[in-house]
């Protein structure tokens, strides 16, 4: 029987017994300078954005949003250079997907508008808005599961190959959610709802956008929660996270007036949860439309999947000061964990949220929503740092006597002490090096406790086998 590895990653680990003078810091994201996917096909318009998913099998596979409503498909050998295979026949005739808000007396803000109709080969595989695609390897008949927004509410679809999807018989699996403004002049609709499979709880979770009215009478976008055991029968969404003064403070610091939670892409990480929070800095509400502002990505953390906090006031993926991703950012529903790095596929726009509204149409020569790639080192969302501090683990089972360390000690050192039967048996040192997988061996077997001294070094993870 293979030995089971026990791994500690930050910030949520039940295997940390105590810390002394340890600070948990957010990892540094590195952006590719250019987009990896751009709009170029007739049905994409100016919008190719990663409301969507990236999964790695034999190839990297991407399901992205084209022109506001189509679920389009791309594939890649390296995750950087993407091909859009024209696999399906599709009528390029813009269906009505539903408004993000409507005005009393009619009218609203649609996701996109059609210009023409044609039948041609395309890479469009479905027609939902803001899709999430999951791959369930235990389901041999319908391993690919799709969830997204339509004019009737949230719908599910299933596929054996990730290309030919069949809608769920009970659609919509969550009925359309609407929220009336206090004035009665506008009705807002819930649309963003990223989905992940909570492997710890054994269920599917969607962070459905909900709305709450604040003390100033403003309708605020919030993070909601719905769950399902089978992807078709979902609980009624409930609000679990409401933006407040701390978010408004960040918005004012950037020259805006308040901030909403545009979306949250949560996922299992260590003994807790992390999430990519889309924070919407709002300038003003458009009289006959939505809101004007910008969107930036922050890291969020939760011990239980329902009680969330922002990890830092510093964005995880920041807007660029100039260039193709200076206006709005969104992310794939899940990070992609490669062997030596974490890939974060994100959508970047060079325009603000108000573009495309009545009186402010897209400038098709200038406006673009592209898809980019940012990376973190392995286990790199959060690391432990100290000028000189200590971290002590709880007892962990060691069957092979192997201790693996992911740390950057180029400006300092790490000292790992192994305690067995309540006594220090040996110590290992890492100095002046940056290593994703530094290995130490100890003859001790059974329950061991690690005492880690950090001196001006970055510790990303510990693993015992």
Least Cα distance to 51 among 12, 97, 109 occurs for 97
Strands (E), 176-290: 178-180, 186-189, 195-198, 203-206, 209-213, 219-228, 238-241, 258-269, 272-285
Mean pLDDT of the chain: 93
Residue 418 belongs to domain with CATH number? 2.60.120.430
Residue 162: pLDDT over 80? yes
Distance, CA of 397 to CA of 464 (rounded, Å): 7
Whole domain around residue 301: which residue ranges?
30-379
Q: Report percent pLDDT > 90 for the chain.
A: 85
Residue 221 lies in a domain: yes
Which burial class, exposed, middle or buried, applies to 403 when counting CB atoms under 10 A from its CB (0-12, 13-18, 19+)? buried
Residue 1 lies in a domain: no
Query: Which range is least confidently modeled, 27-36, 101-110, 123-132, 139-148?
Result: 101-110
Q: Report percent pLDDT > 70 for the chain.
A: 94
Residues 7-65: tens digit of each pLDDT: 999 999 999 999 999 999 999 999 999 999 999 998 999 999 999 999 999 999 999 99
| Residue corresponding to tokens 């190839």 | 59
Split into its structural domains, the chain has a count of: 2
Residue 356: pLDDT over 90? no
Residues 328, 423: one domain? Answer: no
Residue 116: pLDDT over 50? no
Among 233-237, 285-289, 424-428, the range with the most confident prediction by mean pLDDT is: 233-237
CA triple 84-87-92, angle to 5 deg: 85
Residues 450, 305: one domain? Answer: no
What 3-state DSSP class applies to 330?
A: strand
Residues 10, 146: one domain? Answer: no
Query: Which range is least confidently modeled, 333-337, 353-357, 430-434, 448-452?
Result: 353-357
| Residue corresponding to tokens 């659609």 | 171
**Dihedral, 125, 92, 85, 339 alpha carbons, nearest 10:** -50
Residue 269 near residue 11, CB atoms below 8 Å:
no
Q: What is the mean pLDDT of residues 410-414?
A: 98
Q: What is the mean pLDDT of residues 117-140?
A: 89
Residues 226, 329: one domain? Answer: yes
Split at pLDDT 50, 70, 90, the class of 92 is low
Q: What is the mean pLDDT of residues 433-461?
A: 96
Distance, CA of 60 to CA of 48 (rounded, Å): 17
Of 319, 353, 379, which residue is a domain's last? 379
Residues 236, 147: one domain? Answer: yes
Residue 308 near residue 223, CB atoms below 8 Å:
yes
Its pTM stands at 0.94
Number of C-beta neighbours around residue 40 at 10 A: 8
Of 336, 353, 379, which residue is a domain's last? 379
Residue 218 lies in a domain: yes
Q: What pLDDT is attached to residue 99?
A: 62
Residue 96: pLDDT over 80? no
Q: What pLDDT is attached to residue 415?
A: 98
Q: What pLDDT is attached to residue 111?
A: 37
Residues 240-260: tens digit of each pLDDT: 999 999 999 999 999 999 999
Of 322, 346, 379, which residue is a domain's last? 379
Distances (CA, A) of 74 to 42, 84, 132, 345, 373: 15, 5, 14, 13, 15
Split at pLDDT 50, 70, 90, the class of 97 is low
Q: What pLDDT is attached to residue 93?
A: 61
Q: What is the mean pLDDT of residues 425-433?
A: 95
Q: What one-character DSSP code corresponds to residue 37?
A: B
Residues 388-401: tens digit of each pLDDT: 999 999 999 999 99
Residue 275: pLDDT over 80? yes
Residues 387, 375: one domain? Answer: no
Residues 120, 243: one domain? Answer: yes
Residues 355, 430: one domain? Answer: no
Q: What is the mean pLDDT of residues 340-344?
A: 97
Q: What is the mean pLDDT of residues 75-79?
A: 98
Least Cα distance to 85 among 121, 129, 38 occurs for 121
Residues 296-338: tens digit of each pLDDT: 999 999 999 999 999 999 999 999 999 999 999 999 999 999 9
Residue 433 lies in a domain: yes
CA dihedral over 257, 321, 355, 94, signed as positive or negative: negative
Choice between 195 and 184, residue whose per-residue pLDDT is larger:
195
């Amino acid at each position: 029987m293979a030995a089971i590895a026990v791994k500690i990653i930050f910030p949520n680990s039940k295997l940390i017994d105590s810390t002394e003078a340890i600070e948990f810091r957010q990892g540094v994201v590195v952006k590719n300078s250019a987009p990896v996917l751009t709009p170029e096909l007739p049905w994409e318009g100016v919008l190719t954005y990663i409301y969507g998913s990236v999964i790695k099998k034999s190839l990297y596979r991407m399901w992205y949003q084209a022109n506001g409503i189509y679920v389009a498909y791309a594939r890649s050998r390296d995750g950087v250079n993407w091909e859009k295979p024209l696999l399906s026949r599709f009528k390029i005739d813009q269906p009505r997907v539903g408004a993000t808000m409507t005005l009393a007396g009619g009218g609203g803000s649609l996701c996109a508008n059609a210009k023409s109709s044609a039948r041609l080969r395309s890479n469009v595989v479905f027609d939902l808005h803001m899709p999430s695609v999951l791959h369930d390897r235990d389901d041999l008949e319908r391993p690919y599961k799709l969830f997204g927004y339509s004019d009737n509410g949230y719908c599910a679809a299933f596929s054996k190959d990730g290309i030919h999807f069949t809608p769920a018989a009970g659609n919509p699996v969550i009925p359309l959610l609407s929220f009336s403004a206090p004035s009665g002049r506008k009705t807002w609709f819930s649309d963003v709802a990223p989905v992940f499979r909570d492997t710890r709880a054994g269920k599917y979770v969607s962070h459905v956008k909900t709305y709450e009215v604040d003390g100033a009478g403003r309708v605020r976008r919030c993070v909601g929660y719905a769950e399902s055991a089978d992807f078709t029968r979902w609980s009624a969404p409930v609000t679990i996270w409401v933006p407040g003064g701390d978010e408004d403070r960040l918005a004012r610091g950037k020259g805006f007036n308040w901030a909403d939670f545009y979306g949250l892409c949560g996922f299992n990480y260590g003994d807790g949860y992390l999430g990519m929070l889309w924070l919407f800095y709002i300038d003003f509400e458009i009289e006959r439309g939505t809101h004007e502002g910008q969107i930036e990505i922050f890291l969020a953390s939760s011990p239980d999947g329902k009680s969330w906090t922002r990890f830092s006031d510093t964005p995880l993926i920041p807007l660029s000061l100039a260039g193709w991703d200076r206006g709005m950012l969104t992310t794939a529903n899940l990070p992609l964990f490669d062997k030596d790095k974490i890939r974060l596929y994100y959508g970047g726009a060079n325009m603000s949220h108000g573009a495309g509204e009545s009186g402010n149409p897209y400038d098709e020569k200038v406006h673009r929503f592209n898809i980019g790639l940012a990376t973190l080192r392995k286990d790199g969302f959060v690391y432990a740092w100290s000028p000189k501090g200590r971290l002590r683990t709880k007892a962990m089972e060691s069957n092979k006597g192997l201790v693996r360390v992911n740390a950057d000690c180029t400006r300092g050192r790490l000292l790992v002490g192994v305690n067995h039967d309540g006594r220090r048996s040996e110590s290992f040192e890492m100095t002046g090096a940056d290593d994703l997988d530094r290995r130490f061996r100890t003859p001790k077997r059974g329950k061991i406790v690690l005492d880690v001294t950090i001196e001006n070094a970055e510790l990303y993870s510990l693993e015992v086998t």
